[in-house]
Amino acid sequence: MGGRRGFLASVGAALAAMAGGPGRGWARALVRRGPHPEPRPGITAERVLPPEALGGDADLIATFDKVRRLPGVMDGIRCHCGCADLPGFYSLLSCYEDAGMARHCQICQGEANLSARLHDAGRSLAEIREAIDARYG
Amino acid sequence: MTDSTPLRRAVLAICVFTTPLATPLAAQVKASEPAVLSQTVDGTRFTIEYSRPRARGRDTLFGKVVPWGEVWTPGANMATTLEVSNDVTIEGRPLRKGKYSLWMQVQPGDWTMVIDTNPKLYHTQHPKEDPSQLRWTFTPGTGPFTDVLTWEFERLRVDGGTLVMRWGTVRVPLEVKVPPSYTLAFDAAAAAPYLGTWVLTPQMGDDTASTRLEVAHRDGMMVATLDPPLFGAPEYRTMVFLPKRADWFTPAYLVDGEVYEIWDEVLVEFERSGGRPTTMTMRGLKDEVYGRGRRLP
C-alpha cells in the first residue's frame, strides 16, 4: 500500500494497535515521564529475547540486535511508553528481556533505534537521554 | 395400575431443560436513557455525561414541563456533567480543568447558565448561587424541533468548537476554546540556516516521486511550500516546521493559514556539513526513515 494511505496507515494503524484508539497525539497520551536510570555495573544482554523468538521480522531482529550490542547504553535509558512503571522493569533494556514486550511497542523500538544511532554517532549517554526526552518525552 | 415411568421421565426432562431459562433479565428501560459525549480538540478532552429526556409529544417544554424560574439541569436523573481535561474558556469565560454540573435557570426571556463545582448532584438538587460557580445570562436560540435532548459539537476548529444543547425548539450554543498544544513561532535568525530550496524523496511504500521544498521564514514561522504537495493532496502543500530541539522539527500543515494537521509522531531531522544544514531525514516513531532530503545549490 503506497502513497498517503500507506504512509498514514503505517503511522496511525500501528499506534492504534498500541493505544487502542484513533486521534492525533496517541503517543503523547501514553508518555510516562521520569528520570533516566543509571546503568547497572556489569549489565549484560544475556536476558534479551533471542532472534529466533521474533517471528522472522527483520526490522525487529535488527532492533533487538542493537540492544544486544549496547546493553550498557540501553540500561541507562528510561522507556517513556509506561513500562518503566511496571514491577521488575528497570530501564529500556528491561523491555527487551524475557518476554520482550518491546516486540509490540513502537516507542520501545524507537527509543532503542535512536539510542543506538546516536551512540554510533559518538554521542554521550547524557546527549542520548536528552534526545530521547525530546523525541518521546 | 398404569406405568408412569415414561411420564415421569418427560416431566423430569422438561424441568431439567427449562430451568436454565427461568432466570429473568434485569429491567433496563429508562424514561431518559444515559448518554456520553466525548470530544477531543487539540489534546483537550470534553466529556458530557447526561440522560436524554424525550418530548414525547409535549409541545410546551419550557414554561410547562420545565417551569419558568427553575434551575434545570439540561438532562435528567443525575445532573448533567461537563468534564474538561485542561483549562479552557467557555463563552469567553475561563473554566479550570475539572468536572462540573451544568444547570440553566429558565425564564420567559433570558436564561442564566450555571456551572457548579459539584458534579454529583441529582436533578432536583438545584444548586444555590455561590461565588465558586461560573454564571452568565444569555438569550436561548431556536432551531428545528429535537425530540430527544441532545448535546453535540456542531462545529470543530483547531482551537475549539461550538458545543450545543438542543431540546424541543430550543438551541443553546456554547463557544469553547482550548489552549494550543503547539507553537508555530520560530525566530528568523534561528531559521536562517535552514532556508532555501530542498528536495525530499520518500523512502517507503510505492511513492518515490520527489517533492521540492521552498523553505522560507514568513509570518514568524519557518514554512515550506511543497511542489508537488505530499501525496498529491493540496492540504499537504504548506508545511510548518515546529521546533523540537536543535535541528529537529515536527511537521505541521496549514490550510488557509490555519493548522490542518500536526504529524506529532514524525520527526524532521536536519544534518549538517561544515556547520550548515545540507541534508534532512524524515523519520517515524520507530526511528525508521520515511524520506530523505537534500539542499539544492
- For chain A, the average pLDDT equals 83
For residues B148 and B281, membership in a common domain is answered with no
Going by pLDDT thresholds of 50, 70 and 90, the confidence category of residue A19 is very low
**CATH, residue B278:** 2.40.128
Task: Tell which A residues from 48 to 107 touch B, by Cβ distance under 8 Å.
Answer: 59, 63, 106-107
Kindly state the percentage of chain A with pLDDT values over 90. Answer: 67
pLDDT at B23 exceeding the cut of 70: no
End position of a domain, from candidates B112, B147, B177: B177
Domain that holds residue B89: 29-177
SS3 A54: coil
For residues B106 and B195, membership in a common domain is answered with no
For residues B262 and B290, membership in a common domain is answered with yes
SS3 A50: coil
Give the nearest partner residue to A24 out of B202, B233, B264, using CB atoms.
B264
User: What is the structure's pLDDT at B207?
Assistant: 64
For residues B45 and B146, membership in a common domain is answered with yes
Residues A23, B40: C-beta atoms closer than 8 Å = yes
Those residues whose C-beta lies under 8 Å from the C-beta of residue B56, and which sit 6 or more positions away, are: B147
Give the nearest partner residue to A2 out of B181, B206, B244, using CB atoms.
B206
Residues A27, B287: C-beta atoms closer than 8 Å = no
Over range A109-122, report the average pLDDT: 98
pLDDT at A113 exceeding the cut of 90: yes
Residue B237 forms part of a structural domain: yes
Contacts of A113 in chain B (CB under 8 A): 286-288
Residue B221 forms part of a structural domain: yes
Question: CA-CA distance, B64 to B73, in Å (whole number)?
Answer: 15
For residues B66 and B132, membership in a common domain is answered with yes
For residues B243 and B274, membership in a common domain is answered with yes
Q: Are B176 and B89 in contact (CB under 8 A)?
A: yes
Residue B165 forms part of a structural domain: yes
Those residues whose C-beta lies under 8 Å from the C-beta of residue B220, and which sit 6 or more positions away, are: B184, B185, B186, B188
Stronger pLDDT, B233 or B20, i.e. the higher one: B233
Q: Which of A4-13, A85-94, A111-120, B16-25 has the lowest mean pLDDT?
A: A4-13
Gap from B245 CA to chain A (nearest CA, Å)? 7
Each residue of B180-206: pLDDT tens digit?
Answer: 989 999 999 999 999 999 999 988 777
Each residue of B60-117: pLDDT tens digit?
Answer: 999 999 999 999 999 999 999 999 999 999 999 999 999 999 999 999 999 999 999 9
Question: CA-CA distance, B174 to B91, in Å (whole number)?
Answer: 6
pLDDT at A53 exceeding the cut of 60: yes
For residues B226 and B164, membership in a common domain is answered with no
Gap from B293 CA to chain A (nearest CA, Å)? 17
For residues B163 and B244, membership in a common domain is answered with no
Contacts of A26 in chain B (CB under 8 A): 265
End position of a domain, from candidates B177, B203, B234: B177
Residue B81 forms part of a structural domain: yes
- Taking CA–CA distances from B181, the nearest residue in chain A reads A25
Residues A11, B263: C-beta atoms closer than 8 Å = yes
Is any Cβ of chain B less than 8 angstroms from the Cβ of A130? Answer: yes
DSSP chain B: ----HHHHHHHHHHHHHHGGGGSPPPP---SSEEEEEEEEETTEEEEEEEEE-B-TT-S-TBTTTB-TT-EE-SSSSBPPEEEESS-EEETTEEE-SEEEEEEEE--SS-EEEEEES----BTT-PPPP-TTSEEEEE--EEEEEEEEEEEEEEEEETTEEEEEEEEEEEEEEEEEE---S------HHHHGGG-EEEEEEE-SSS----EEEEEEEETTEEEEEEESPGGG-GGGSEEEEEEEETTEEEEEEEETTEEEEE-TT-EEEEEEETTEEEEEEEE-TTS-EEEEEEE--
DSSP code of A104?
G
User: What is the structure's pLDDT at B232?
Assistant: 87
Question: CA-CA distance, B96 to B99, in Å (whole number)?
Answer: 9
Interface test with A, best of B158, B230, B265 (most A CBs within 10 A): B265
User: What is the structure's pLDDT at A24?
Assistant: 32
Kindly state the percentage of chain B with pLDDT values over 90. Answer: 83
Is any Cβ of chain A less than 8 angstroms from the Cβ of B67? Answer: no
For residues B195 and B127, membership in a common domain is answered with no
- For chain B, the average pLDDT equals 92
Residue B5 forms part of a structural domain: no
Each residue of A69-107: pLDDT tens digit?
Answer: 999 999 999 999 888 778 889 999 999 999 999 999 999
User: What is the structure's pLDDT at A86?
Assistant: 84
End position of a domain, from candidates B145, B177, B209: B177
For residues B203 and B173, membership in a common domain is answered with no
| Total count of domains within chain B | 2
Which residues does residue B101 pair with via DSSP β-bridges, in sequence order?
B81, B116
Question: CA-CA distance, B230 to B238, in Å (whole number)?
Answer: 10
For residues B97 and B230, membership in a common domain is answered with no
Residue B183 forms part of a structural domain: no
Residue B3 forms part of a structural domain: no
User: What is the structure's pLDDT at A29?
Assistant: 52
Residue B162 forms part of a structural domain: yes
For residues B171 and B199, membership in a common domain is answered with no
Is any Cβ of chain A less than 8 angstroms from the Cβ of B260? Answer: no
Gap from A51 CA to chain B (nearest CA, Å)? 18
Each residue of B236-274: pLDDT tens digit?
Answer: 999 999 999 999 999 999 999 889 999 989 999 999 999
